[in-house]
A and B are shown apart, each in its own frame.
Chain A
Amino acid sequence: MGIKRGVSLYSYQQSEWFGRMTWRDQLEEVAMNLGGATGIEIISEATIPQYPFPSEQFIFDWNNEIARWNLKAVTMDCYLDVMQFRTHVMNHKEAAQRLMYDLRLAKKMGFENIRLVHSVPLEAIEMALPLAEELNVRMTNEIHSPYPITANLNLPDVDHAFMGADWKYRHSQDIAFIERTGTKHYGLQPDMGIFQYRAPRPMLGYLLRSYVSAEEAGRIVDEYYRVFDEAGESAANKYMEDSCPAIMESKFGFMLFSGMSARPEELYKIAPYIYCIHGKFYKMTEIPGKPGQYEESSIRYPEAIKVLKSIGYDGYIDSEYEGQRSQQDMGDAGLADEVEEVRRHHEMLKRLIGE
Chain B
Amino acid sequence: MYDSYLVVKDTLQNDVENGKTVGFSFGVRLANYRGIFLSLVNGFYVEVDGKVYSRDEQTFEINGRPARSMDEIAKCYWEHWDMQDMGRVHILEEGGLAPGEHKITYMECNLAYYGYHGKGCDDEIFVKNPPQPGDPMGSEKTPIKNDYVLELR
Contacts and interface: CB of A to CB of B under 8 A. Distances in A.
A121 interface: yes
A53 B80 CA distance: 9
Residue among A10, A46, A118, A121 with the most chain B CB within 10 A? A46
A331 B80 contact: no
A12 to B, nearest CB: 10
A165 B115 CA distance: 11
Interface stretch (A64-72, A295-303, A322-330): A322-330
A119 B82 contact: no
A164 B116 contact: yes
A162 B33 contact: no
Interface size class on chain B is 35 or more
A53 B4 CA distance: 31
Interface stretch (B34-42, B53-61, B91-99, B100-108): B34-42
Nearest to A160: B118
Interface of A: 10, 13, 16-17, 19, 43-46, 49-53, 79-89, 117-121, 157-165, 167, 210, 325, 328-331
B146 to A, nearest CB: 8
Given A52-B78, A161-B121, A165-B119, A84 B113 contact: no
B74 interface: yes
B127 A17 contact: no
Contact of A117 (B111, B114, B137): B114
Interface of B: 1-5, 29, 33-37, 39-40, 74-75, 77-78, 80, 82-84, 111-121, 123-124, 126-127, 130, 137, 140-141, 144
Nearest to A80: B115
Contacts of A16: 83-84
A44 B29 CA distance: 18
Given A161-B137, A163-B119, 7 more contacts: A46-B83, A52-B80, A82-B123, A84-B39, A85-B39, A164-B116, A325-B1
Contacts of A13: 33, 83
Contact of A162 (B2, B37, B118): B118
Given A13-B33, A43-B34, A210-B144, A164 B39 contact: no
B4 A165 contact: no
B123 A89 contact: yes
A164 B118 contact: yes
Nearest to B38: A84
25 contacts: A10-B33, A13-B33, A16-B83, A17-B83, A17-B84, A51-B35, A52-B78, A79-B112, A79-B114, A80-B114, A80-B116, A83-B39, A84-B37, A84-B40, A86-B40, A117-B114, A118-B115, A120-B115, A159-B118, A161-B117, A161-B118, A164-B118, A165-B119, A328-B1, A329-B4
Contact of B112 (A19, A52, A81, A165): A81
Contacts of B36: 45, 81
The 8 tightest CB contacts between A and B, nearest first, are A159-B120, A119-B115, A329-B3, A45-B34, A163-B118, A161-B121, A117-B115, A83-B111
A145 to B, nearest CB: 13
A161 B120 contact: yes
A17 B33 CA distance: 8
Most buried by B among A17, A161, A162, A331: A161
A19 B84 contact: yes
A199 to B, nearest CB: 18
A343 B1 CA distance: 23
A86 B127 contact: yes
A89 B116 CA distance: 9
Contact of A46 (B35, B119, B126): B35
Contacts of B3: 328-329
A84 B77 contact: yes
Contact of B39 (A53, A86, A119): A86
Nearest to B30: A17
A138 to B, nearest CB: 19
Contacts of B119: 157, 159, 163, 165
A86 B75 contact: yes
Contacts of B127: 83, 86-89
Nearest to A85: B77
A86 B118 contact: no
Contact of B113 (A43, A81, A121): A81
A119 B114 contact: yes
